[in-house]
Amino acid sequence: MDATINQSIRPMKTIQYNYPKLAFGNDFRRLLRDAFEGFDGLGNLFERPARPANAPAADLYSSDEAYHVRVEVPGVRKEEVSVSLENSVLKIRATHEEGEGEARRVLNFDRSLAVPDDVDAEKIEAKLENGVLSITLTKQEAQKPKQIAIL
Amino acid sequence: MSTESCENTNCCTPATAVAPAEAKWTKPHYRAEKDGNAYKVRVFLPGVAKSGVSVSLDKDTLTIEGVRSDTVEESWTPVFEEIKRDGYRLQLHLEVDIEEEKIEATVDDGVLNLTLPIAEAAKPKVIAVT
């Protein structure tokens, strides 16, 4: 009898909840709101929670070899953006200041995205072009089954 | 300066009404402020390169259009999508005379900066009391 355990070891999975995309979500809420003025008891039941004002719009795509993130950060220069990945959360922060005195304006962007955990943290590339930050997160190579010898 | 909402995609011009496939526009965020003798307008057009921006002035309507140059490959599967990939369109009604010849426009990092100098005729006049 073969005295080894053939086991494939996968890192723990991040549990992600995908909010259902229900077309009637908004209409349904409006209907309720009109019928019971001031009633908002269903809260975010049918909607993805609204983004805070300084959280830019983002896209996440998956391809065979990588995840692709797009974040809209218009007006921000390359050196003003910071991207970090920690515990499968991709954090994008950007601050842009311009003008002085009364004309001073500050643009603030802050967005965190839960990314799948099969990302190779060493192989992340980001570039900024025309106010859109593109991040490519390379997927880890499929983990090979690991033979564990029994002593 | 006031704005016309272009959320109704068929409202803008007959040309866009004829071709509904092309008539999808997103109204971009923008800021307009008076700075001395000019209006400064900043229009946020993320994903639009300099070559994709067009600014036109017809009488007192300033039309700004932007076509995105960033692309997403067809083979990618969306996990979630929040960015609208339609083009941008913004119409601003100028209620003050502008020196059309001196309008300046620059595009940096996905932001269109417009300088609209106020025409001499529209500037307040100081009347000397004699």
For B81-126, the pLDDT digits (tens) are 888 888 899 999 988 888 888 999 999 999 999 999 988 887 778 8
Q: Is residue A111 packed enough to be buried (19+ CB in 10 Å), middle (13-18) or exposed (0-12)? A: buried
Kindly state the percentage of chain A with pLDDT values over 70: 65
In A, minimum Cα distance to B34 occurs at A103
User: CB–CB of B15/B31 below 8 Å?
Assistant: no
pLDDT of residue B105: 93
Verify whether the Cβ–Cβ distance B70 to A67 is below 8 Å.
Answer: no
Q: Mean of the pLDDT values across residues A39-67? A: 72
Residues in chain B within 8 Å Cβ distance of A70: 70, 72, 83
pLDDT band at residue A34 under the 50/70/90 scheme:
low
pLDDT of residue B59: 83
Interface residue A58 vs chain B (CB under 8 A): yes
Interface residue A61 vs chain B (CB under 8 A): yes
Residue B8 CA to its chain's centroid (Å): 16
Interface residue A108 vs chain B (CB under 8 A): no
Each residue's pLDDT tens digit, B62-79: 999 999 988 888 899 998
Each residue's pLDDT tens digit, B15-71: 444 444 555 888 999 988 888 888 999 999 999 999 999 999 988 899 999 999 888
Each residue's pLDDT tens digit, A62-85: 998 899 999 999 989 999 999 999
- Between vectors from CA A98 to CA A136 and to CA A108, what angle results, nearest 5°? 45
- Complex ipTM, two decimals? 0.72
Contacts of A33 (CB under 8 A, 6+ apart): A39, A40
Give CA–CA dist A126/A113, Å, rounded: 15
Residue among B35, B42, B78 whose CB faces A61 most closely = B78
pLDDT of residue B13: 43
Neighbours of B38 (CB within 10 A): 18
Residue among A61, A63, A75 whose CB faces B109 most closely = A75
Quote the minimal CA–CA distance from B65 to chain A in Å. 15
